[in-house]
Amino acid sequence: MSKYLRSMLGKFVRRIRRFLLVNSLIASTRQRGEADLKKKLELIMPDLSDQYTSTIMNMNDRYIVEKMRSQHAFQINIALKTIQYLIDKKKDVINIADIGDSCGTHITYLKNLLSDLPIDIQTLSVNLDKIAIDKIKQKGMNALLCRAEDLSKYNINADIFLSYEMVEHLLNPIDFLRSISINTDCSYFVISVPYIRRSRVGLHYIRNNYKQEVLSEETHIFELCPEDWDLIFQFSGWKVIYSDRYCQYPSRGLFNIMKYEWRRIDFDGFYGVILTRDHSIMKRYKDW
């Protein structure tokens, strides 16, 4: 086979692969009943190109767009469930702090989705990256330049803390989670992390022998399965009151076969929880 034919065949295979990945995302979101929410989020934030500091997202790449939109629909759905708990308690002012917020996207979603309700949403975004903080402030939002682990020094209280795909980047997630539990009076903590079936250490830049410098935004340290995260949550002063596993492929149908490709190139999906503070298990450990 000539070099030209090999090149053309390679392009064809990559296109087919992308087609299957995109449609597995669409099928999963539809199966989960989050397709309408995903459309609403797109209308609220048509451009997600500045979602990250280290990478400018190519929003002409349908694979990237579907991956981000589907993930955001999953995350926001959990946040809306949490906010509903407070609405049911007749709370008319709700303070939300997004820890690890890179550009104010999720807060923008929530404010728009809840704009017709008679509640006042007050927000704070927290990040250790000055570029992210500047982006958020330019949008007229409150933001704090701070490491997640140091948040307790600022006496920040919120009804709801959010943390999407952040704790796996921390050097010491247990100290962080414990600090939020004992140093705040928050009602709920919403967390999502990559969903994998078996726990492992991340540090993929070492595993793959990358030579370049890496940012914390790009570096996973602990990648744990849901069962192990739940143990960490309990040990750190929390109780899981709701959990959900979003897979980037449907649980049934033709595109379910794409789970093997997602596991090879990325993750099965994401694991999300709603936590409340509970020190009953944490207090059994006597060496804090």
Instruction: List the CATH number of the domain containing 71.
Output: 3.40.50.150
Quote the CA–CA distance of 285 and 288 in Å, as a whole number: 7
**pLDDT on residue 257:** 95
Strands 143-145 and 160-164: unpaired
Q: Does position 133 have pLDDT exceeding 80, yes or no?
A: yes
Question: What confidence tier does 59 reach under pLDDT thresholds 50, 70, 90?
Answer: low
Contact between 57 and 49 under an 8 Å Cβ cutoff? The reply is yes
- Cα Rg, the chain, nearest whole Å: 20
Q: Does position 56 have pLDDT exceeding 60, yes or no?
A: no
Burial class of residue 265, CB neighbours in 10 A (0-12, 13-18, 19+): exposed
Write down the mean pLDDT value for the chain.
91
Q: Does position 167 have pLDDT exceeding 60, yes or no?
A: yes
Contact between 158 and 186 under an 8 Å Cβ cutoff? The reply is yes
Residue range(s) defining the domain that contains residue 79: 3-284
Q: Does position 219 have pLDDT exceeding 80, yes or no?
A: yes
Please give the structure tokens belonging to residue 38.
């995903």
Q: Does position 6 have pLDDT exceeding 80, yes or no?
A: no
**Where in 137-263 does DSSP place strands (E)?**
143-145, 160-164, 188-195, 200-201, 222-223, 238-247
Number of domains in the chain: 1
Provide mean pLDDT across the span 163-169: 94
The percentage of residues in the chain with a pLDDT greater than 70, rounded to a whole number, is 94
**pLDDT on residue 52:** 64
